[in-house]
Chains A and B, each alone.
Chain A
Amino acid sequence: MRLRRIAAFSRRALLQFRHDRRTLAFVLIMPLLMILIFGYTFGGDVKDIAIEVVDYDIGIQAGTSPVLPNGLFLAQKVIDNFDTDVFSMHTNTNSRNARQIVHEGKAWAAIIFPANFTENFLSTIKTQDMSFSPKIEIYIDASNPTIAAAVIKEATQSVQIILKELSASLNISQIEMPIAIEQVYAYGGGNTRFIDYFAPGVISFAIMMVTTMITIILFVNERRNGTLQRLLVSPASESEIVVGYALAFAVIGIIQSIVVLIAAILLFDISIVGNIFLALIVILLLAFGHQGLGILLSAGAKNELQAIQFIPLILFPSILLAGLFWPIESIPSYLQPLSYIIPLRYGIDAERSIMLRGWGIGEIWVDIIVLVLFALLTLSVSVLLLKRRN
């Protein structure tokens, strides 16, 4: 391998990007847009979730109970305590109708308080028998896990606050949660925001998409324009061609990651606890592997139109199965094994572990080894592919 020849390849590819502003913009703006859109959509707390509230609670009238001389309308108290920023509430008097509205997708959840809500609460306190626990029914559209989690969180919080107030005023030491709601948090409990979880994934995903797509298109054009033939007639070896392009992609990948990281830090205040160089090494490995993949796929496309048909093929498994948006644990168990053959999975996993957990090579070596093997495999097969003659 001759350095001068390799440098000639990288230089030319990078200069091409400098002239092709649109593509350059795509490379830099695509991940930025993703971060911005997802950051602002899911970054903060979720707001204005449409909710149907059904309050059947008859409560306890003043003077009917010695424990509560002033009476108590517990459901009303809980409802009053809902954060109106988070919930956009509509009061409904019919639970069936409320469920129907959720069913039709016009509201995310129906929160239904039964008639004996306050009464059961009182019985629980008196008897300490949890089987009387009052129940809140939350009929929820869980198609969006982020929103579903926000609904549960808000309802739970409101109940807890009310219970605390009551235990203080009633002089009761401890009141157990009257409803059992499982809280679903991916990582780090309630402290990790979605954006923190999402940013390392976006960086990995953007590298994967950009490198694969641009490599496919560059090589389809190399073949179609006949420039590849010229390269093959030159003294440059097939591996020099591949390494030359790899260096160009390394430069692009690093610039891209730095831009995204800076944007994520400035706009969303994400914190990176781990080693940034290790994070960049993972990025480079991802770029190399997908460059190889791109060269291989380019052999299956005769023109750019055929090349873009590969997009869904790469896009969907990565989005759905690689753990970009939701944890792999939350995809159906029969699909989970598929995620092992998606290289992006290891990239996202490694980046998250580095950035969120501050893990080092000692913990993520499996990811690194898989990515190295993936890169070696695709790059060497693509060298062989370029060597092939009819």
Chain B
Amino acid sequence: MKVRGIIQKQVQCPACNTILICSGNPGEIVKVTCPSCGTLGKVTFEQTFDTPTKIVEIQSVTKTFGKFTAVDTLDLTIYTGEIYGLLGPNGSGKTTAIKLLCDLLRPNEGTIKILGEPLPCKSIMNQVGYMPQDAAIYLDNTVHENLFFFGGIYGMTKENLEKKEQEMLEFVNLQDWSDSLVSTLSGGMKHRLSLACALIHEPNLVFLDEPTVGVDPELRATFWGYFESLVKKGITVIITTHYMDEADHCSRVGLLRQGRLIADGRPRDLKKSVGVDSLEEAFLLLAGQEKS
């Protein structure tokens, strides 16, 4: 059962100016239909610090591949409106964790809840956006065709798609490449398109597996600006990265090492806890403590 929202909000229908009152929880985006003209819209309930909503709940999840344990008794809760950074060296289990959250892999032990629903659950998937680590796009189609396809499988209408496509092309700076075959794009451009394909359907919860790899510094800054704007709209972003300067943008970071979460907290707090100025140093120290 969905609990009725605890916040009441007055909104005005953009089409017929009718005032309506809707309720929701902090950080939630509620779909509303105007009672007088039928226009569909979304109402965002801003995140407030003291009433966080759990959007991802991972409870003692273990994932093994044969004898190898890729994710080891992971416990993690992520709240609506967070931008959570998963960090860790190569092979530490970041991608595996994201795949578990997307129901691409099934845990050997433990449970996962996404948007309040225990996995597997197909009905919540239209609220989820996923960008895999490798640019998972169709090389023999054009940029435009890829965007339309990924929007299309989320059931977006043509008009809606056309509008969103423009916005996405501008965001990833591929306006001039719309009709190019993806196979002719550079590596970074493919990566940018892949990100656009994950976001075109306006998901509420986004999993981005190394979205900024191979992207030039200028565009990386743009990306982070965009992610932060998503978070302002109440969208939750879960991101993996190797760049420590990026990790500083996250509201919270978790450090994975050999499948175990060895640190979890706000970047500021983590640095303070070990008494250093940079996250990089903090992690090196934390990893060292873990070993000994």
Interface residues of A (CB under 8 A from B): 2, 4-5, 7-9, 11-12, 15-16, 19-20, 225-227, 229-237, 240, 389-390
Would B138 and A227 count as touching, CB distance under 8 A? Answer: yes
Given A389-B103, A390-B105; A5-B134 close (CB under 8 Å) = no
- Bound complex: CA A240 to CA B125 (Å): 15
Let me know if B36 is at the binding interface, CB within 8 A: no
By beta carbon, the residue of chain A nearest B130 is: A233
Q: Is A229 in contact with B153, judged by CB distance below 8 angstroms?
A: no
How far does the alpha carbon of A227 sit from the alpha carbon of B105 in the complex, in Å? Answer: 15
- Majority secondary structure, A binding face: helix
Judge whether B139 and A234 touch: CB under 8 Å.
Answer: no
A-B contact pairs, 30 of them (CB 8 A): A4-B152, A5-B155, A8-B148, A12-B149, A15-B145, A19-B140, A19-B181, A225-B134, A225-B135, A225-B136, A225-B137, A226-B135, A226-B136, A227-B137, A227-B138, A229-B99, A229-B136, A230-B132, A230-B150, A230-B198, A231-B153, A232-B104, A233-B128, A233-B130, A234-B125, A235-B123, A235-B125, A236-B153, A240-B153, A390-B106
| Interface check B122, CB cutoff 8 A | yes
Bound Cα distance A2, B122 (Å):
14
In contact, A389 and B105 (Cβ under 8 angstroms): yes
B141 touches A15 (CB 8 A): yes
- B17 interface residue per 8 A CB criterion: no
CB distance from A258 to the nearest CB of B (A): 24
Chain A residues near B136: list those with CB within 8 A.
225-227, 229-230
How far, in angstroms, from A231 to B105 measured CA to CA in the complex? 14
Given contacts A225-B137, A229-B136, 11 further A-B contacts (CB under 8 A): A5-B152, A8-B153, A15-B141, A226-B134, A230-B136, A231-B153, A234-B126, A235-B122, A235-B125, A237-B122, A389-B104
Number of residue pairs A-B, CB distance < 8 angstroms: 89
Smallest beta-carbon distance B142→chain A, Å: 7
Q: Which of A4, A9, A12, A389 contacts B155 (CB 8 A)?
A: A4
> Hey, which chain A residues are within 8 Å of B198, CB to CB?
230
- B residues sitting closer than 8 Å to A (CB atoms) are 65, 99, 102-106, 120, 122-123, 125-126, 128, 130, 132-142, 145, 148-150, 152-155, 181, 197-198
Contact B104 A2 (CB under 8 A): no
Instruction: Give the residue of A5, A16, A225, A226 whose beta carbon is less than 8 angstroms from that of B153.
Output: A5
- Closest chain A residue, CB of each to CB of B146: A12
Name the distance in Å between B238's Cβ and chain A's nearest Cβ.
Answer: 13
Q: Kindly report which residue of chain B lies nearest to residue A16, judged by CB atoms.
A: B140
Verify B132–A229 contact, CB threshold 8 A.
yes
B residues less than 8 Å from A235 (CB atoms): 122-123, 125-126, 153-155
Max chain B C-beta neighbours (<10 A), residue from A12, A232, A240, A389:
A12
Residues of B within 8 A of A16 (CB): 138, 140-141
Measured between beta carbons, the chain B residues less than 8 angstroms from A20 are 140
Which chain B residue has the least Cβ–Cβ distance from A20?
B140
Please give me the residue from chain B that is nearest to A5 by CB atom. Answer: B153
Complex CA gap A232/B122 in Å reads 9
Closest Cβ of chain A to B190, distance in Å, is 10
Bound form: Cα–Cα A225–B182 in Å: 13
Bound CA–CA A20/B142 (angstroms): 11
Q: Are B149 and A11 in contact (CB under 8 A)?
A: yes
Contact B130 A19 (CB under 8 A): no
Partner of A230, one of B65, B123, B197: B197
Q: How far is the CA of A257 from the CA of B181 in the complex (A)?
A: 29
Residues of A with C-beta under 8 A to B99: 229
Complexed CA–CA distance, A235 and B120 (Å): 12
CA distance A227 to B149 in the complex (A): 11
Bound complex: CA of A214 vs CA of B152, how far in Å? 23
Distance A226 CA – B191 CA, assembled complex (angstroms): 13
A-B pairs, 4 with minimum CB distance? A8-B152, A226-B136, A235-B126, A233-B130
Per the bound structure, the CA–CA distance linking A4 and B153 in Å amounts to: 7
CB-CB under 8 A from B181, the residues of chain A are 19
B123 nearest in chain A by CB position: A235
Which of A5, A7, A15, A234 gathers most chain B CB within 10 Å?
Answer: A234
In the assembled complex, which residues on chain B have CB atoms less than 8 Å from the CB atom of A227?
136-138
Bound-state Cα–Cα, A261 to B126, Å:
44
For A12, list chain B residues within 8 Å (CB): 138, 141, 145, 149, 152
Indicate if the CB atoms of A7 and B152 lie closer than 8 Å.
yes
| CB-nearest residue of chain B to A2 | B155
Known A225-B134, A230-B136, A237-B122; judge A11-B152 contact (CB<8 A). Answer: yes
Q: Complex Cα distance A7/B65, Å?
A: 36
With A19-B181, A235-B153 as known contacts, state yes or no: A389 contacts B102, CB within 8 Å. no
- The complex places the Cα of A226 from the Cα of B134 at a distance, in Å, of 7
- Chain B residues lying within 8 Å of A11, measured Cβ to Cβ, are 149, 152
A297 nearest CB across to chain B (Å)? 21
Shortest CB-to-CB span from A299 to chain B, Å, is 16
Alpha-carbon gap, A8 to B154, bound state (A): 10
Q: Which residues of A contact B154 (CB under 8 A)?
A: 234-235
Min distance, Cβ B191 to any Cβ of chain A, angstroms: 12
Q: Which residue of B lies closest to A15 (CB)?
A: B145
- CB B60 to nearest CB in A, in angstroms, measures 19
Residue numbers in A under 8 Å from B133 (CB-CB): 226
Please measure, in the bound complex, the distance between the C-alpha atom of A231 and the C-alpha atom of B120, giving whole angstroms.
Answer: 15
B160–chain A nearest beta-carbon distance, Å: 11
Q: Which residues of A contact B122 (CB under 8 A)?
A: 235, 237
Chain B residue contacts of A4, Cβ below 8 A: 152, 155
C-alpha spacing A87/B64, complex, angstroms: 73
How far apart are the CA atoms of A390 and B123 in the complex, in Å? 21
Highest count of chain A CB atoms <10 Å: which of B135, B136, B153 = B153
**Min CB gap A332→B, angstroms:** 44
In the complex, what's the smallest C-beta–C-beta distance from A118 to chain B, in angstroms? 73
In the assembled complex, the CB of B183 is this many whole angstroms from the nearest CB of chain A, namely: 9
| Assembled-state Cα–Cα distance A15/B149 (Å) | 11
Tell me how far the C-beta of B156 lies from the nearest C-beta in chain A, rounded to whole angstroms: 8
Q: How far is the CA of A11 from the CA of B148 in the complex (A)?
A: 10
State the Cβ distance, A219 to closest chain B Cβ, in Å. 13
CA gap between A235 and B198 in the complex, in Å: 13
Alpha-carbon separation in the docked complex, A364 to B154 (Å)? 42
Asked whether B132 lies within 8 Å of A234 as measured between CB atoms, the reply is: no
